[in-house]
Amino acid sequence: MALSVREYRARIKSTESMKKITRAMELIAASRIIKAQQRAQAAAPYARELTRAVSAVATFSNVDHALTTEPEDPKRAAVLVVTSDRGLAGAYSSSVIKEAERLVEKLRGEGKDVDLYTSGRKGEAYFKFRQREVVQAWTGFSDQPTYDVAAEIGATLIAAFLADTDGDESGSDARPVDEVHVVYTRFRSMLSQEPTAVRLLPLEVVEGTEAPAEGDLLPLYEFEPSPSDVLDSLLPRYVQSRIFFALLQAAASELAARQKAMKSATDNADELIKKYTRIANQARQAGITQEISEIVGGVNALADANAGQD
């Protein structure tokens, strides 16, 4: 019985060590999520003004651009899945992968082939384990994305979208696609993160088709040298800014999910420590009771033996 007590004490000690680790990871995630939120808020004005500029150009010009032209018979779509590089974030990566799988099934139901692009090691590992081809993967930045990475991803996806139009002129060997979708986790609050799928290309500039609110009129631009050249410059930046926004939202969601998961792990460790402590005390008391019973039994047996001799 004493061996069992030592075993439970060893489990209590290991659980306390695990609790320290999960508590530290919870605090780290809590401190980083504030920075992630600040980065997303800081990037919002640029994205908003860029959206207004694109909306104004699309509204006040009659230029047909390759990035805004709907294909007549789309046959292939690219899907960018934004996951995390590390685990210990609860159901964060699995939720966005499930949303991506639903989107893939929907696209295939429409008769379209799907090319997969991933951001984060979890998504890459998921598809490679199931022997599903990943055209290109980007890793190592899921909790701290940069605009350079977003620009690289955007350039790759735009090259794939324009490959069929520009042919060899794009200078890229990307497989041509007719649509580009991105699946990421939108940060709603510390307790709510929502997997979201949006279509990036062809562009749908909703702001240009809606009546502007009072006091929020779209600006009038003079296009120099021409509206088509302005769109050639603005639309790739618009796509890259949307991808950067998705990466920032995903980073904040990942940190929030990790903080929540580590808090749950810390609480579970507390419960395990209480449970093991109670069982260890019961085992110790049982051992003491058994030893006392053995001593009393031995004394009684010795007394009976002495009485028999008398």
CATH of the domain at 7: 1.10.287
Indicate the number of domains in the chain. 2
Residue 7, in any domain of the structure: yes
Residue 210: CA count within 13 A, CB half-sphere: 9
Task: Assess contact for 287 and 6: CB atoms under 8 A.
Answer: no
Residue/partner pairs of 139-143 with CB below 8 Å, 24 or more apart? 139/85, 140/85, 141/85, 141/247, 142/82, 142/83, 142/84, 142/85, 142/86, 142/250, 142/251, 142/254, 143/32, 143/36, 143/84, 143/85, 143/86, 143/251, 143/254, 143/255
Residue 8 lies inside a defined structural domain of this protein? yes
Residues 84-107 pLDDT 10s:
998 888 899 999 999 999 999 999
pLDDT at 204: 65
pLDDT in tens, 166-212: 444 444 456 789 999 999 998 888 888 899 999 988 876 544 334 44
Question: What is residue 209's predicted lDDT score, i.e. its pLDDT?
Answer: 37
pLDDT in tens, 110-151: 999 999 999 999 999 999 999 999 999 999 998 889 999 999
Do residue 112 and residue 156 come from a single domain? yes
83 has pLDDT over 90: yes
What pTM value is reported for the model?
0.79
- Name the pLDDT band for 214 (thresholds 50, 70, 90): very low
Q: What is the mean pLDDT of residues 285-293?
A: 83
Residues 80 and 144 in one domain: yes
Q: Look at residues 10, 8, 13, 1 and name the one whose alpha carbon lies nearest to residue 278.
A: 8
pLDDT at 217: 58
Q: Tell me whether residue 308 is in a domain.
A: no
Q: Are residues 82 and 127 in the same domain?
A: yes
* Residue 296 sits in the same domain as residue 195: no
Asked whether residue 294 falls in the same domain as residue 258, the answer is no
The reply to whether 17 and 29 lie within a common domain is no
- 310 domain residue, yes or no: no
Q: Which domain holds residue 8?
A: 2-23+263-303
| In-domain check, residue 243 | yes
Mean pLDDT across the chain, nearest whole number?
A: 83
Q: Do 63 and 196 belong to one domain?
A: yes
Q: Both 275 and 141 in a single domain?
A: no
Residues 167 and 290 in one domain: no
- Residues β-bridged to residue 181: 79, 199
CA distances from 242 to 34, 160, 270 (A): 21, 17, 42
Residues 148, 173: one domain?
A: yes
Are 154 and 288 within one domain?
no
Q: CATH no. for residue 120?
A: 3.40.1380.10
Asked if the structure places residue 93 within a domain, the reply is: yes
98 and 167 housed in the same domain: yes
Residue 101: both structure tokens together: 């799988």
Task: Classify residue 309: in a domain, yes or no.
Answer: no
